[in-house]
Amino acid sequence: MASQQDEAEEGPTLYAASPYFAADTMRRERRAEAAARRRAYGQRHPLFFGTARRIADPSLLTVLVLLLGLAYVFLPFGSLFGRYGDAARGGFFPSTIISIGAPNMPAQKTFTLGARTKGCHLVQSEVDAEVRDIMRGVKAGILTLFILHTSAALSLNENFDRDVRSDMDMALDHAVPEDLPWRHTDEGPDDSASHTKASLIGPSLTIPITDGRMNLGTWQGVYLCEFRPIPPVGEQVWCSSAPISAQQQLSFIFRLDF
C-alpha cells in the first residue's frame, strides 16, 4: 500500500516537472473558455462578426439587406450590374442612361438642288426628300450639309414669312455692295461680292437628328442663299449622317418657339 501511494504522489509530481505541462494546461483552459462562450452565446458564424444565434436575428438580417442595397447604389462596384455609369468612375450619384437603340453606321451622299436665281430660297422640303434615306433608323445623331460651291451658302432661318428671304437678300447686298473696287471680277462685277457673302454665311449646316428626322425648331428651315444672278444648272450639296453612340456626351436641344 505504501509503495502504491508513493507512486500516485510521484506521478503528478513528475508530470508537473515536464516541459509540456504548462502548454497542456493553457490548451485545456482555452478549450474550457470556448465551451463556456458557446454555451452562453452560440456557435460563431464563419462569415460574419458575431455568433450564429445573433446573426439569425431578423432585425440584423433586415439591417444587412439595407446595407447591401445602399452599397449597390453608391459604391463603385454597383456598376458591375450595368446600371450606374457614374459609379464606374467613382461618383456617388447614378447617371441617367438614355437608350438610343441599335447603333447605325455613318452614311453620306451628294445631291443637287434645283437651279434658282439670286436670292435666299427655302429648300427645306427638297432637302428633306434627299436626306431621308440616310437618316432612316437613326435614333439620335448629327446631320451635316455642305454646299460644294463658292458663290452660294446654306443657312437656317424663318420658314414661314417670304418677306424674311427678301429682307435677308437686301441686307446682304447692303453689307457687301457690288460697287466696291473689287479686283477679282473675271465673271462680272458681282464675282468677288458673291464670294464674300458666301464666306459670311458659310457653306455648311449641322443639324441634330432625332428618330430619323431633322430636329428643327417650329419656325426653322434650310435656306439656299444664291449670290449670282446667273446660277449654274444646280447646286451640289454633300450630306452626312452620323449616329451618336451611347458613350458620347449627350447634348440638349433648347427650343424657344415664340
Read off the CATH number of the domain in which 142 is found. Answer: 2.60.120.460
Q: pLDDT at position 195, please?
A: 96
Answer yes or no: is pLDDT of 231 > 80. Answer: no
Mean pLDDT lowest for which of 71-75, 94-98, 191-195, 223-227? 94-98
Tally of domains within the chain:
2
Report DSSP letters for 149-189, one per residue.
Answer: -SSEEEEEEESS-HHHHHHHHHHHHHHS-TTS--S--TT-T
My answer on whether 84 and 125 are in the same domain is no
Answer yes or no: is pLDDT of 19 > 70. Answer: no
Q: Of all residues in the chain, what percent carry a pLDDT higher than 70?
A: 65
Tell me whether residue 53 is exposed, middle or buried, using C-beta atoms within 10 angstroms of its C-beta: 0 to 12, 13 to 18, 19 or more: middle
Quote the CA–CA distance of 210 and 101 in Å, as a whole number: 12
In tens, the pLDDT along 141-192 reads: 999 999 999 999 999 999 999 999 999 999 999 999 999 999 999 988 899 9
Q: Nearest-CA neighbor of 107 among 129, 128, 147, 138?
A: 138
| Residue 97 belongs to a domain | no
Question: With bands split at pLDDT 50, 70 and 90, how would you rate the model's confidence at 215?
Answer: very high
Mean pLDDT lowest for which of 3-7, 139-143, 209-213? 3-7
Answer yes or no: is pLDDT of 207 > 90. Answer: yes
My answer on whether 125 and 207 are in the same domain is yes
Quote the CA–CA distance of 234 and 160 in Å, as a whole number: 24
In the predicted model, what is the mean pLDDT of the chain?
A: 76
Provide CB contacts within 8 A for 256, sequence distance 6+.
Answer: 217
Residue 197 and residue 225 in contact, taking contact as beta carbons nearer than 8 Å = yes
| Residue 102 belongs to a domain | no
Q: pLDDT at position 66, please?
A: 81
My answer on whether 166 and 195 are in the same domain is yes
Quote the CA–CA distance of 110 and 130 in Å, as a whole number: 9
Residue 209 and residue 143 in contact, taking contact as beta carbons nearer than 8 Å = yes
Pairing of strands 152-158, 119-122: unpaired
My answer on whether 75 and 120 are in the same domain is no
Provide the whole-model pTM: 0.56
Query: Across residues 225-235, what is the average pLDDT?
Result: 81
Please tell me the chain's helix, strand, coil percentages from 3-state DSSP, rounded to the nearest 5: 40, 20, 40
My answer on whether 132 and 217 are in the same domain is yes
> Among all chains, which residue has been given the C-alpha cell 450639309?
145
Query: Across residues 36-41, what is the average pLDDT?
Result: 70
Q: pLDDT at position 209, please?
A: 93
Structural domain including 72 reads 2-88
| Residue 251 belongs to a domain | no
